[in-house]
Amino acid sequence: MTTVRLEFERLEILVRKRRWKLYFIIVADHPTDSDKMVLTTIPAAGEDFFMLKKNSKNVVNFEPEATDSGVDGLFVLEREMPADRTIRVRAFLKHNRKSVRDAGDILGDIEKGLGNNVLGTITDILGSSSPWIVIAKTAMGIVGKVLGKIKDRDFGYLSMDEEFGPEFEGKKELDRVNRFTTGDARLRWSWRVRD
C-alpha cells in the first residue's frame, strides 16, 4: 500500500513585527468519502501556539539540523494514496491575539460558524489523533468567511494541492515553497511517498 505524508519544514514571517503566537488551520480531502472534507488546527487543542520572539528572527524551522537524510519536519497528515493520485489541502495561517484561549477554542469557534455544514468530529484519521471536524465538500466556499470572523491576524492561505505524477518516480520526497495569499509569510513543505 502506497502512502503519502505532508510535513511542514520552515515557516518565515515576512513583516517587521517580531513577536507572534501562530497557528495553522488545515482543510483536506476526507480520506474515504469524496463528498467530505476535514478540518483541524495545528497545534492541536491543549498545545501551545508557535511562539516567536525577537531572537527567532521571524523563522520557525520545523525540520531540525542533521547530518543524515532521515530528518522529519512537522507532521501534518498521512494517508493512503488516492486512486486518482491527487490530494487537496489548504493551510490558513493566523496570529492569535487573545491571551486566554487555545487551539481547542478556535476549533470550537470554527465549528459553531460552520453550523449545519459540520457532519461530526473524528479522531484517528490522516495519521493523527488530533480532532478533525468533518464538513460537507460544498461548505468549502464558506470556510474562508468563517475564518475571517475570527479576530486574529490573518496571513491568508495557500494551496498544497498535489497530483503525484512522474516527478515522484524514484524520489521519496519533494519540497515545495510558496507565500501565503497576503504575501506576509512563506512556508516550505514536503510531500513524501512511501510504498
Q: Per-residue pLDDT tens for 151-192?
A: 899 999 999 999 999 988 877 889 999 999 999 999 999 999
Q: Residue 54: name the closest of 20, 23, 26 by CA.
A: 20
**Whether the model pTM is above 0.85:** yes
The pLDDT of residue 195 is: 83
Structure-block grid coordinates of residue 165: 505524477
The pLDDT of residue 177 is: 97
Number of domains within the chain: 1
Structure-block grid coordinates of residue 151: 479576530
Q: In this structure, is residue 190 part of a structural domain?
A: no
Q: In this structure, is residue 169 part of a structural domain?
A: no
The pLDDT of residue 48 is: 84
Q: In this structure, is residue 173 part of a structural domain?
A: no
Q: Per-residue pLDDT tens for 91-135?
A: 999 999 887 677 888 888 999 999 999 999 998 889 888 899 999
Give ∠ CA 108-112-113 in degrees, rounded to 5: 115
Mean pLDDT confidence for 71-86? 93
Q: In this structure, is residue 108 part of a structural domain?
A: yes
Q: In this structure, is residue 172 part of a structural domain?
A: no
